[in-house]
Structure 1
Amino acid sequence: MNEKKEILIIDDDSKNIFALSAVLKARKYSCLSALSAKEGLALMDQNPNIGAVLMDMMMPEMDGYEAIGRMKAEENLKNIPVIAVTAQAMTGDREKCLEAGADGYISKPVNVDELLQLLNQIMN
């Protein structure tokens, strides 16, 4: 596990951020958070130590699809892996997230073991 890199959680619901942070910190991950995609993109610009992003796909103003598109268009952000975290778990939603540029997909409520497995795959 790469403990030097931080995980950025972008979600417009502070309860989701709190729960994900608690789970990840208990497993020795370092976490940052943003309550909007715009704030998250600004954090990524300022912090070169972000090793992965957990991106809520359904947010007001800028959703996860648009945010991932902006990340992938920027030279300094395009290689940061993104896991789409969404309550949308209908047929085709996973594919839509991956087509948008996400490196992984997990539905809410988050299965912690599945999340940790994904993080280990994309951060190592």
Structure 2
Amino acid sequence: MSEQKKILIIDDDSKNIFALSAVLTAKKYECVSAQSAREGLDILQAQPEIGVVLMDMMMPEMDGYEAISVMKNAGNLKQIPVIAVTAQAMTGDREKCLAAGADGYISKPVNVDELLQVLKQLNI
């Protein structure tokens, strides 16, 4: 896995970003982060080496559903996999995230082994 790509973590809670970054960095992933969907979209445009996005679905201004829609409608961003990371873990929430265009779904609190398995499935 010498060609490992960067992971962009988009979450409005800095504690979530810190926790995910710490775990992923310990597993030798390179992480960048954004505290809003708009900032995340700007980073995606500026850093084509990003290989996957961990997207919080519930954020102010632009939520994860809207951000995924923007990504999937942007020619240069639509191929980047998005993993929905959300506290919404009720029946149907996973399907709602996947229907919105997410390529994977992880509920909070994040199970690290589950997250690593999803990353592996996406070849990240």
Question: Whole-Å Cα distance in 2 between the matches of residues 44 and 2 of structure 1?
Answer: 21
Question: Whole-Å Cα distance in 1 between the matches of residues 76 and 2 of structure 2?
Answer: 20
Question: Whole-Å Cα distance in 1 between the matches of residues 90 and 31 of structure 2?
Answer: 29
SS of 1:113's equivalent in the other structure is helix
Could you list the per-position Cα deviations for residues 80-103 of structure 1 after superposition, in whole angstroms to 9, with x for gaps in the alignment?
Answer: 000000000000000000000000
What runs of 5+ residues in structure 1 fail to find an aligned partner?
A: none
Q: Partner residue of 1:10?
A: 10
Shift of 1:4: 3.3
What runs of 5+ residues in structure 2 fail to find an aligned partner?
A: none
Question: Whole-Å Cα distance in 1 between the matches of residues 89 and 2 of structure 2?
Answer: 29
1:1-124 correspondence to structure 2 within 5 Å: 1=1, 3-124=3-124
Question: Whole-Å Cα distance in 2 between the matches of residues 15 and 65 of structure 1?
Answer: 21
Runs (4+) of structure 1 moved beyond 2 Å? 1-4
Corresponding letter in the other structure for 1:22: A
8 A contact 1:3–1:30 mirrored in 2 = no
**Number of matched residues?**
124
Question: Whole-Å Cα distance in 1 between the matches of residues 2 and 39 of structure 2?
Answer: 24
Corresponding letter in the other structure for 2:75: E
SS of 1:32's equivalent in the other structure is strand
Identity of aligned residues (%): 77
Aligned Cα root-mean-square deviation (Å): 1.0
8 A contact 1:54–1:83 mirrored in 2 = yes
Question: Whole-Å Cα distance in 2 between the matches of residues 122 and 18 of structure 1?
Answer: 23
